[in-house]
């Protein structure tokens, strides 16, 4: 398997009428990662996922899954990809177990001799064993999400694409799904996870990308994206502290009462030297440090807006 399980170059989708949904997207999803895909409403996330899976064709650019071009190689690629997109489609008159048996029987590569064992294992893995015999029409939204995830786990997958996998789950169910995602990643499955829950992404994902208005704003390790903190100084001399920090290259300096904040300077600047400079200039420093930004802070800074749950 290639190092990049998903890789796009200048991937673009323009719909009829001229709407540009995805604009020259260069995305790289490392093998073995849990990759969070973030963006507000209308950012192009769903369109991107549909192009990656060959459900719609791009206007221009390329997309590779598991090292092969999509949608041209869909027939050979998709058996190695599990997907749960916009909620599962279920037969309401069938039980949860029978739905999975039906899904598996439609897979030409599935071994019928191991079907029931694999179905039972998938049901157990998502915590649906007590409700496996219940009709799917009686399932709650969270149970349907679990069943959809089970359908994606019927075969070993090199890549798992999940769109809002914890939608409708209670807090305990969300924790269980997060644990399952980590377990899958530990077993070697790359997980591509679209979610509006930034806290969830920060807890479970190793890498992430942020989309807005069809463009990729940033991508990288979550630990790096979520550490764009702010320098914070507590002092009874805020005006003098602000002047000293500006003179030493700290940008976006802001004063609120006895608190002064600013962007962390370039990597070659030691923040300890800034503290020393403040003291030399006679600034009385009560507190000094770097406040770590959350992934949500980073998201808002990049997009200029809050996160829309309809995205």
Report DSSP letters for the chain, one per residue.
--SEEEEEEEEEEE-TTS-EEEEEE--EEETT-EEEEE--TTSSHHHHHHHHTTSS--SEEEEEETTEEETTTHHHHGGGEEEE-SS----TTSBHHHHHHHHHHT-TTS-GGGHHHHHHHHHHHTT-GGGTTSBGGG--HHHHHHHHHHHHTSS--SEEEEESTTTT--HHHHHHHHHHHHHHHHTT-EEEEE-S-HHHHHHH-SEEEEEETTEEEEEEEHHHHTT--EEEEE-S-HHHHHHHHHHTT--S-EEETTEEEEE---TTS-HHHHHHHHHHTT---SEEEEEPPPHHHHHHHHHSSPPPTT-
CB-based contacts of 98, cutoff 8 Å, min separation 6: 91
pLDDT of the chain, 311 residues: tens digit per residue: 568 999 999 999 999 888 999 999 999 999 999 999 988 778 899 899 999 999 999 999 999 999 999 999 998 999 889 988 877 789 999 999 999 999 999 888 889 999 999 999 999 988 899 999 999 999 988 888 889 889 988 988 899 999 888 877 788 878 888 888 888 888 889 999 988 777 778 888 999 998 888 999 889 998 777 655 678 999 999 999 999 999 988 888 999 999 999 887 765 567 888 999 999 999 999 999 877 666 666 666 666 655 443 33
Question: pTM (2 decimals)?
Answer: 0.75
CATH number of the domain within which 256 lies = 3.30.70.100
Indicate whether 211 belongs to any domain.
Answer: yes
> Where is the domain boundary, 178, 199, 225?
225
- Residue 209: alpha-carbon gap to chain centroid: 7
- Residues 110, 257, single domain; the answer is no
Indicate whether 45 belongs to any domain.
Answer: yes
Indicate whether 302 belongs to any domain.
Answer: no
- Residues 151, 74, single domain; the answer is yes
- Residues 279, 219, single domain; the answer is no
- Residues 129, 247, single domain; the answer is no
CATH number of the domain within which 156 lies = 3.40.50.300
- Residues 183, 220, single domain; the answer is yes
- Residues 129, 237, single domain; the answer is no
- Residues 263, 195, single domain; the answer is no
Q: What is the pLDDT of residue 145?
A: 86
Domain that holds residue 251: 230-291
- Residues 89, 125, single domain; the answer is yes
- Residues 122, 203, single domain; the answer is yes
Indicate whether 299 belongs to any domain.
Answer: no
Q: What is the pLDDT of residue 311?
A: 36
Q: State how beta strands 230-234 and 215-221 pair.
A: unpaired
The Cα 103–Cα 150 span in angstroms is 10
Q: What is the pLDDT of residue 296?
A: 66
What is the number of other CB atoms lying within 10 angstroms of the CB of residue 174? 20
Q: What is the pLDDT of residue 266?
A: 63
The Cα 54–Cα 272 span in angstroms is 52
How many domains does the chain fold into?
2
> Where is the domain boundary, 175, 194, 225?
225
- Residues 56, 168, single domain; the answer is yes
- Residues 101, 57, single domain; the answer is yes
Indicate whether 27 belongs to any domain.
Answer: yes
- Residues 180, 236, single domain; the answer is no
Tokens for 297, please give them: 């802070």
Alpha carbons within 13 A on the beta-carbon side of 15? 9
Indicate whether 306 belongs to any domain.
Answer: no
Q: What is the pLDDT of residue 77?
A: 92
Indicate whether 52 belongs to any domain.
Answer: yes
> Where is the domain boundary, 225, 249, 272?
225
Indicate whether 297 belongs to any domain.
Answer: no
């Amino acid at each position: 398997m290639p190092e990049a399980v998903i890789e796009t170059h200048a991937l673009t989708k323009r719909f009829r009428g001229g709407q540009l949904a995805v604009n020259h997207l260069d995305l790289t999803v490392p093998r073995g990662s849990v990759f969070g895909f973030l963006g507000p409403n209308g950012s192009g996330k769903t369109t991107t996922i549909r192009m990656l899976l060959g459900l719609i064709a791009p206007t221009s650019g390329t997309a590779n899954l598991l090292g092969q071009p999509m949608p041209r190689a869909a027939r050979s690629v998709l058996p190695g990809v599990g997907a749960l997109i916009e909620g599962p489609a279920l037969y309401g008159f069938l039980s949860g177990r029978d739905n999975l048996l039906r899904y598996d029987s439609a897979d030409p590569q599935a071994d019928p001799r191991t079907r029931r064992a694999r179905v039972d294992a998938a049901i157990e893995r998502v915590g649906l064993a007590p409700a496996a015999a219940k009709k799917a029409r009686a399932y709650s939204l969270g149970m349907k999400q679990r069943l959809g995830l089970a359908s994606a786990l019927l075969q070993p997958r090199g890549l798992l694409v999940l769109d809002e996998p914890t939608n409708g789950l209670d807090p305990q169910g969300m924790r269980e799904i997060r644990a399952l995602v980590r377990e899958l990643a530990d077993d070697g499955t790359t997980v591509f996870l679209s979610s509006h829950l930034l806290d969830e992404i920060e807890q479970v994902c190793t890498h992430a990308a942020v989309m807005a208005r069809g463009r990729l704003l940033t991508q990288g390790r979550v630990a790096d994206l979520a550490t764009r903190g702010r320098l914070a100084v507590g002092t009874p001399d805020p005006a003098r502290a602000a002047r000293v920090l500006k003179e030493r290259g700290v940008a976006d300096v802001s004063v609120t009462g006895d608190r002064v904040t600013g962007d962390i300077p370039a990597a070659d600047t030691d923040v300890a030297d800034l503290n020393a400079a403040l003291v030399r200039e006679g600034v009385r420093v009560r507190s000094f440090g770097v406040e770590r930004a959350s992934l949500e802070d980073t998201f808002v800074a990049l997009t200029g807006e809050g996160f829309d749950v309809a995205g």
